Structures are given as structure tokens and as C-alpha cells.
Amino acid sequence: MPNLPRSLRPLVRATDWLRCHPRLVALVVTCIASYLHPASLVAVPFVIGAIQLDDVNTTTTKEIMPGVVDGYFKAGPLIAMMKARFTRKWIGPQIQENFMYKPMKGGAYKKGAAFNVDRRQTRTGLLFGPRYYQVNVTEFLEDLEVEMVGPRAAFSVIRTDMQQAALTMSAILEIAAFRHGQALVGDDRSAEINGLEEALNDGINASWAGNIFASYGGQTRADVAPALTTPTGLIAANVAGPISYRILRHSYFSSIIGNEAPTIGITTNRCMGFISENFLPHQIVDTTQPEINWPGLKFDKATILMSQYIPGADGVNDADLGNYNAAAETFAWLNFGPQGDDAYVRLYIAQSSKFAFGFTGFKGAREDNQVSGQILFAGNLTVKALRLSRILFGITS
């Protein structure tokens, strides 16, 4: 460029650079054009042309490692514990749990006195309807049969998707098990299972979510008191402060009747940290709940377990799974009762194999090759011995 003025030489060099990179120039021009005129996007393939692989991508292939790491789901022991204690299937339109709420008439009498022979109703039942859940799995036949099969497939897409669907169903039920299933004003959860927030309420005081449940299982609590009233004792449900050995000990004792005592304590990771901070070293004994192989702390006859789905400050209101957020930490003392039909906390599952975490099979409902199927659950959660379990909340440190 000896004959050009010095001021024009940078422009000539820029022009040469642009001429050597036509695809990049076309891409920049297309982006500007699409911003000004979105309809111009249809011209992208014609402007840029086919993508050319460089030498590395032409002569070598990528190595995709098998397996997919779970970066989303958490875990909780509640559903696992219920399934370990109660496995009977439920048949019929409703689930009925019977209980006693009054003694028979009796007492001291004098010779010749007339007996009161009126028959008193001392028993009644809780009624629960089935609740239904589904998790959808959608695939394309082209992926399943052609593009993602064979020796070059690092992992099975369908197997991975089915495992992820099962994890989704477990998480949804675990979160719902701590909530309620009633149609409250501003919080209609009548499609959900009847969880512990509803069951372990006294009908007078609000839960951690600010809800009061005057009835449970179709029974008004005041009509059958104290059968459907959870224990209180010295420690109120709303701790509104730090957790301590005294609070745990008195709340545990309030749930004991005869030789019946809570077998499980469930709380958040953060509250477990508070317990470790506030307890003396000799009060912290590590153990494992043998039925579900879940690590925890030994406390009298119970094992305190951590759940990432029990409501707490670290929980979130997940639009896909459910709300397990609370202003402070939550702690539940639970007596699951004996194994089998006499269990106190029951997860009923439908007798139909398809609605007992079964899969419907893939169904085609479109004009292309997209197919979908659902993992299904039908059943409900019931607590029939409410005097043996309770929930603490408002734990701040």
C-alpha cells in the first residue's frame, strides 16, 4: 500500500480481513438484520451456509462418559419409612380408619341402684378419598429407535428418563406428605394427599404455614376430643426460638402413652446443626435407622433423621415439586407403630399395579412420532394415632 494515503491504510487492512472471514461477516450482518427485521432469520442457512468441521472434529470423536449426575433432587426418609412399616394395598372408593374417642359408661354404685343401660357411641372413623399423581415421560421414536441406540450410545435415554421420573414422583410425594390436603381459602390442596400438617394439628393453633385444621378425615376434632388432638404438654408446638435438650426431651415425653413412644424424629439439615451445637458431646450418639438404613442421632428410643424436604428456611417453593419452605425450622416426632396392618402412620397404595407407581406404557397422540406415558400413583396418607406424634416449628437456632 505504498501509493495510498496513510489515513486509508487501516481501512484497506480491515477490508482484507473481512474478505478472509465471510462467514463471520455474514453472521454479524444476519444478527443485525434479525434484530431490525425478525423475518430475516429464515435466510440464515442460505447466508451462512453449511457448518464446516475443523481438523480436530473431522478426524476424532467425542467421548461421552456414561451416566448422568443428579444435580437437582434431594432426599427424605418419610415415605421410605411409611413403605417399610405398612405395605397393604387399598381397595375401594374410600379409606376408613376407625378409632375410639370415649370410654364405656361405668363407675361405682350402691346396692339396689339402677344402672344406666343407655348405649353410648364410643367409636367412629376417619374417611379419606384417593388422591392421584402422575409424572409424564415424553420421547420421540426417532431418538429411541435410531439416533440414540447402538454401541455409540453412552447411556440409555429411556432408562435414564424413567429413573428421573421415579425420582420426581418420590420428591413430589415426600413434600406433599408434610403438607395438607384440604380446600382452604387461598390454599386449595384438595387434590393432594392429607399430610402431616393437617393430621398433627390441634384445631386451635396455627401450623408453621399459618393454617388451622378444625377437622381431619371428615371428623370435627372438637366432637371427638381428645382422640384427634396432638399432644402439647410443657412445650408448645411453636418453639419460636432455639432448640435445646430440654425442648426435645419434654416434647418427646409428651408423645408417650404407656410403652408407646416416638420412634423417629425428622428435621432439617439446619436444625440438626442446631442440635449438634446446643447439645453436649455425650448427648450426641450417631446411629442408623435399620429399617431404611438412614443415618441419624440416637435419642432415647427414637432416631433423629435429616430430611431435605421437611419445611425449613433452606427449603424452596419449587414450582415443579411443591413448597417446602418455611420461615424457620421444623421438627416432627413420629410414632409409626408396629409393622403391618397395625401401623399408626400409613401410606395407602392402590391395588392396581398401574396406579402403584406403575407405567402406562407409551401412547402416540399426535401426527408425528412423539410418544408419551405416565408413572401413576393413587392412594393417600393417614395417621390414626394422633396422640403419639407431634410437630415442632419456629426453631431459629
346 within some domain: yes
Q: Which of 164, 335, 341, 156 is nearest to 258 (CA)?
A: 335
Give the residue with greater pLDDT, 20 vs 146.
Answer: 146
Q: Which span out of 6-20, 60-74, 130-144 was modeled with the highest average pLDDT?
A: 130-144
Query: Rounded to 5 degrees, what are φ and ψ at 364?
Result: -95, 125
On the question of pLDDT at 25 being above 70, the answer is no
Give the residue with greater pLDDT, 146 vs 332.
Answer: 332
CB 330 within 8 A of CB 361: no
Same domain, 219 and 316: yes
391 within some domain: yes
CB 381 within 8 A of CB 175: no
CB 208 within 8 A of CB 330: yes
Average pLDDT over residues 78-103: 87
Mean pLDDT (the chain, rounded): 85
On the question of pLDDT at 138 being above 70, the answer is yes
Same domain, 214 and 357: yes
Same domain, 195 and 329: yes
263 within some domain: yes
Same domain, 19 and 88: no
> Between the CA of residue 63 and those of 57, 66, 153, 380, what are the distances in Å?
12, 9, 10, 46
135 within some domain: yes
Same domain, 315 and 206: yes
pLDDT band, residue 181 (cuts 50/70/90): very high
Same domain, 283 and 315: yes
Residue 97's domain comprises 78-102+124-395
145 within some domain: yes
What pLDDT shows up at residue 341?
85
67 within some domain: no
| Rounded Cα gap, residues 176 and 194, in angstroms | 8
| Rounded Cα gap, residues 287 and 296, in angstroms | 5
Q: How many CA atoms are closer than 13 Å to the CA of 233, on its beta-carbon side?
A: 21
Same domain, 83 and 39: no
107 within some domain: no
165 forms beta bridges with none
Give the count of domains, the chain: 2
Same domain, 129 and 191: yes
Same domain, 271 and 341: yes
pLDDT band, residue 84 (cuts 50/70/90): confident
Same domain, 236 and 280: yes
Q: Which span out of 46-50, 227-231, 310-314 was modeled with the highest average pLDDT?
A: 310-314
Q: Which of 173, 230, 238 is nearest to 201 (CA)?
A: 230
What pLDDT shows up at residue 54?
55
What's the chain's Rg over C-alpha atoms? 31
What pLDDT shows up at residue 62?
47
Same domain, 42 and 154: no
38 within some domain: yes
pLDDT tens digits for 327-383?
999 999 999 999 888 899 999 999 999 999 999 988 887 778 888 999 999 999 999
Give the single-character DSSP code of 395.
E
| Rounded Cα gap, residues 196 and 104, in angstroms | 30
Same domain, 141 and 190: yes
On the question of pLDDT at 43 being above 70, the answer is no
On the question of pLDDT at 155 being above 60, the answer is no
CB 339 within 8 A of CB 85: yes
Q: Which of 268, 257, 267 is nearest to 344 (CA)?
A: 257
